[in-house]
């Protein structure tokens, strides 16, 4: 059964906090990129599932750039929310910030965009409820998501 109730973007918001421990780091004491990608995927999956009230699977991850290293002992804060719904797929944005709890310094380290697909009990895609942006930031992300989707579809058509 299709879910057609429009849901506000705020209903999908997730804030996840992680402490960078020695097992999360490389030999330089920096957070492993794969560990951060794992946390990003979890935060985004929770946002997608909150929005759809369904199990959602990762379909793609856009480019992910590491702007600043994250050191052992720092706190990583991941904020995720659904930017836009495209029938059965959803774009979820995740913003990553680090905090040095000793100094209070905060640094934006990453922004990631992931595409998820809502599925039914048999693993088939289902129609997801549209997302309603309310704030100016949500409306900008909603518009930007359409542009990113066009790029994704172009890459798919080109076989990239």
Prediction pTM value: 0.91
Q: Could you give the number of structural domains in the chain? A: 1
On whether residue 2 sits in a domain, the answer given is no
Residue 147 exposed, middle or buried by CB count within 10 Å (0-12, 13-18, 19+): exposed
Identify the residue whose tokens are 């929005």: 51
On whether residue 137 sits in a domain, the answer given is yes
On whether residue 1 sits in a domain, the answer given is no
Q: Which two tokens stand for residue 39?
A: 């946390």
Per-residue pLDDT tens for 66-124? 889 999 999 999 999 999 999 999 999 999 999 999 999 999 999 999 999 999 999 99
pLDDT of res. 4: 65
pLDDT of res. 34: 96
Do residues 119 and 3 touch, judged by C-beta distance below 8 A? no
Given a cut of 80, whether residue 49 has pLDDT beyond it is: yes
Q: Domain limits at 88?
A: 7-158
pLDDT of res. 66: 87
> Residue 124 is part of a domain; what is its CATH number?
3.10.129.10
Given a cut of 90, whether residue 65 has pLDDT beyond it is: no
């Amino acid at each position: 059964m299709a879910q057609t109730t429009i849901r506000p973007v705020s209903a999908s918001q997730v804030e996840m906090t992680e402490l960078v421990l020695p097992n999360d780091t490389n030999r330089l004491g920096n957070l492993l990129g794969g560990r951060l990608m794992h946390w990003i995927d979890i935060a985004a999956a929770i946002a997608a599932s909150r929005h759809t009230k369904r199990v959602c699977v990762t379909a793609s991850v856009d480019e992910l750039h590491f702007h600043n290293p994250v050191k052992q002992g720092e706190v990583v804060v991941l904020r995720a929310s659904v930017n836009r719904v495209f029938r059965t797929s959803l774009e979820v944005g995740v913003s990553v910030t680090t905090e040095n709890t000793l100094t209070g310094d905060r640094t934006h380290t990453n922004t990631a965009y992931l595409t998820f697909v809502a599925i039914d009990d048999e693993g088939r895609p289902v129609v997801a409820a549209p997302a309603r942006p309310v704030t100016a930031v949500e409306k900008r992300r909603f518009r930007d998501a359409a542009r990113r989707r066009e790029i994704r579809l172009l890459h798919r058509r080109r076989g990239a």
